[in-house]
Chains A and B, each alone.
Chain A
Amino acid sequence: MDFTLTPEQQAFRERTRAWLKANIPAEWKAIGSTEVPRPEAYVFLRKWQKKMHEGGLIGATWPKEYGGQGLTFVEEMILHEEMALQKAPPMLNVLGVGMAGPTIIAYGTEEQKKRFPEKILTCEEIWCQGYSEPNAGSDLAGLQTRAVKDGDYYVINGQKVWTSLAHMADWMMLLARTDPEAPKHKGITYFLLDMHLPGVTVKPLKQITGDAEFNEVFFDNVRVHERHVLGGVNNGWAVGLTTLMYERLALGFGLQMRLRIALESLIEMARRVEKTGRTITKDPVMRQKIAQLWMDTEALKYTGARAITKLLKGELPGPEASTGKMGWVETHQKLQELAMEIEGAYSQLMKGSERAIDGGVWQYGFLRSRANSIEGGTTEVQKNIIGERVLGLPKG
């Protein structure tokens, strides 16, 4: 067991820190929310990601020939730690960097690997994920969007829902059914879908936050060339699961970062907010709650580090890897609840009120956090997966 970094890794940390210090713009402080990218920050965030890529910070683990740095998960972790410490803006193309890119690198043809990954890193092309449907959420393999072969093309018809970033995405990771006769896991194909093709319609869904970050996406005879099949026809389930594994792993670093930034901000707020005549940080009950959050955040970090260690040694991740998403969700929702508790009556005031604490930024985060235990696999499904695949309990 050794947490010390090699001289090269230490140098990477110092270089990353110096770059972030020098390059995080002052304007971010004004727009800055620690949460997921919000519409008013899109233009800024697109520029920011491009700049980070030029600084050599994005795509640490991707091969150099596809625009990455050819480094290990340790550097990836260092990057996210430093982004947290410097309160850096989030990555806009988070689904592309965390999911589409790694899956294309794992399954893509040489042509696909040359075509897509680098534009993901530079934020030139934004990606969304077309998995969930109105009747296929947790039961993803029940998806009904059809892809029918027609010459060199597949004709897509159907609908996706809860599609984050679809309203601005250039490409979609699309799962569609190519063989309706096969058992439901076997007849699915993974497509790289150009969102600008005729027949693609995106309708924003207004969420409980008031923002429209999710969308419905409709496909009406959309013609996708067969060179945009990823990982083979009817092999989409395996490819799609790889994406989900990357989602949980790679996004895990980002989630970890957001949690840490949010925790620091929460503590900072607790130092200046009063409750029944004394500062929150002097209240013994609130001290307990904040300390517990600190511990939970640290526990997630080290549980993640154990999973990475196994990956670095070429072993399969153990039980510690599967618990990350669920643990993060619980901790993040607890954090957002605590932020409301710290604000007390002020928690009712939204952005726009001069009385709102911190410009009402916590209210958005609190509402948004309710989606955490649903998106990317509900907590209930996660618990089934842990129960069955890790603990070996029988299926229901």
Chain B
Amino acid sequence: MDFGFNQEQELLRATARKFFENECTSEFVRARMAEPAGVTDDFWKKLAEQGWLGLIYAEEFDGTGLGFVDLTVLMEEMGRAVMPGPFFSTVLLGGLAIQEAGSAAQKKEWLSKISAGQTKTTLAFTEPNARWDAAGITASAKESGGKFTLTGTKLFVLDAHVADVIVVAARTREGKRPEEGLSLFLVPKGAKGLEVKLLPTMDQTRKLCEVTFHEVTVGADALLGAKDQAWGPLSRVLDRATVALCAEMCGGAQRVLDMTTDYAKIRVAFGKPIGSYQGVKHRAADMLVEVENAKSLTYYAAWAMDENVPEAPLAASMAKAYVSDAYRRTAGAGIQLHGGIGFTWEHDLHLYFKRAKSSEFTFGDASYHRERVAQLINL
């Protein structure tokens, strides 16, 4: 048994930390918050050069062929830097959907381009009903003459405004169960009838869109994987993206804890550093306990994804439920222990506080996942 990271993974962590400290500074993040794209060509190119855009894709698709535990290390460092931009949507949503559902030819075409930094993508899954289960998908794709016509509205779609191709989940058939009759389609940017609207978001490091399909017609070659059979791969994508998000959240929570303890050591009140007062010290200790437990469940879930163990979905839901609460509370406590300075725009804490909030509701919040845990343990 070995529940730790190996030397290569520690090396990846050190490399990533240094890279983000240089390339993804507070100034960089704030500049990206202020513009629609959320990323620069130069930064994207550097991510590609590091091999991180193809980290989890097989080598035959020009990826690095690493696993989810390796990815966890990278995600933690990205979360630590509150990295903006379409990495998550491209690599872990659109790209992962292509990897899980696509034909060999589709994988070859798209994953190679993603790995090389030539294509950005995303997954259009949720709708105005804001559900993360199969029943939430009501957008339809009607087949006629070998073509499909997509109709419906997708909401909370990450980075659709910069995606070269959008993977869309739509209903091709009404089944007995909501999991039946779902299909995935690749819809290119600029398709006729495709409307993408960027939404103002609380967490400006995450760009969310409303994507409307006004009878968008695509060819049969746009079908990603088997018709009507998308739920299997989709649920795997959601579980995996959830675990990757948890890792990112852990990295952010750890950074908040670091900032807070650093500050508590130097900030003096009543003649002593505030960290010497138990009111502050005990809250910092509570933060540590939650952050460490959050990591434990996340690391286990990452391992479960790599090994495809039967309890992998349970591991993903346990992690998301726990980490959602832990990051929100840690970020809130971070602001509280900083006092007034923590409430300013100038201080970086609010970037983490807002990222914690947006992440909390992405792929389902704590109560959604606790209920899923209840179901998976046969309660």
Contact = CB atoms under 8 A, between A and B. Distances in A.
Interface of A: 1-5, 9, 74, 77, 267, 270, 281, 284, 287-288, 290-292, 294-296, 298-300, 302-303, 305-306, 308-310, 312-313, 319-320, 323, 326-327, 380, 382-384, 386-388, 390-396
B261 A392 contact: yes
A300 B370 contact: no
A288 B265 contact: no
A383 B285 contact: yes
A394 B265 contact: yes
A2 B278 contact: no
B260 to A, nearest CB: 9
A267, A380, A387, A394: most-surrounded residue (chain B CB, <10 A) = A387
B1 interface: yes
How many residues of B sit at the interface, in one of the four size bands? 35 or more
A327 B296 CA distance: 13
A74, A296, A302: most-surrounded residue (chain B CB, <10 A) = A302
B312 interface: no
A288 B367 contact: yes
Interface string B342-365: 000000000000000000000000
B224 interface: no
B275 A393 contact: yes
A303 B296 contact: yes
A59 B257 CA distance: 38
16 contacts: A1-B4, A2-B303, A3-B303, A9-B1, A291-B374, A292-B321, A294-B318, A296-B322, A302-B3, A302-B296, A306-B4, A380-B278, A383-B278, A392-B265, A394-B275, A394-B276
Contacts of B265: 392-394
Contacts of B322: 295-296, 299
Binding site of B, secondary structure by majority: helix, strand, loop or mixed? helix
B370 A291 contact: yes
B377 A393 contact: no
A9 B370 CA distance: 33
Interface stretch (B42-50, B128-136, B286-294): B286-294
Nearest to A327: B289
A295 B379 contact: no
Contacts of A320: 292, 295-296
Given A1-B2, A294-B377, A394-B275, A319 B288 contact: yes
A383 B257 CA distance: 15
B273 interface: yes
B3 A396 contact: no
Interface of B: 1-6, 69, 257, 261, 264-265, 272-273, 275-278, 280-282, 284-286, 288-289, 292-297, 299-300, 302-303, 306-307, 318, 321-322, 367, 370-371, 373-374, 377, 379
B297 A298 contact: yes
A293 B302 CA distance: 21
B281 A383 contact: yes
Contacts of B281: 383-384, 387-388, 391, 393, 396
B299 to A, nearest CB: 7
Contact of A302 (B6, B297, B377): B297
Contact of B4 (A295, A309, A327, A390): A309
A303 B275 CA distance: 25
A386 B288 contact: yes
Contacts of A295: 297, 318, 321-322, 370, 373
A305 B293 CA distance: 11
A391 B293 contact: no
B261 A393 contact: yes
A281 B295 CA distance: 29
A396 B278 contact: yes
A267 B378 CA distance: 10
B153 to A, nearest CB: 29
A326 B285 CA distance: 10
Given A1-B299, A3-B3, A306-B299, A287 B374 contact: yes
A2, A77, A270: most-surrounded residue (chain B CB, <10 A) = A2
Contacts of B318: 294-295, 298-299
Nearest to A282: B379
Nearest to B300: A302
Nearest to B320: A295
A299 B297 contact: yes
B289 A290 contact: no
The 10 residue pairs across chains A and B that have the minimum distance between CB atoms:
A387-B281, A393-B275, A302-B296, A299-B293, A386-B285, A383-B285, A291-B370, A291-B373, A305-B3, A383-B282
A291 B379 contact: yes
B66 to A, nearest CB: 12
Given A1-B69, A287-B379, A396 B277 contact: yes
Contacts of B261: 391-393
A309 B4 CA distance: 6
Nearest to B379: A281
A386 B371 contact: no
B296 A308 contact: no
Contacts of A300: 293
Contacts of B370: 287-288, 291-292, 295
A396 B276 contact: yes
A326 B289 contact: yes
Given A1-B299, A291-B373, A300-B293, A391 B1 contact: no
Contacts of B379: 267, 270, 281, 287, 290-291
A388 B367 CA distance: 34
Contacts of B273: 393-394
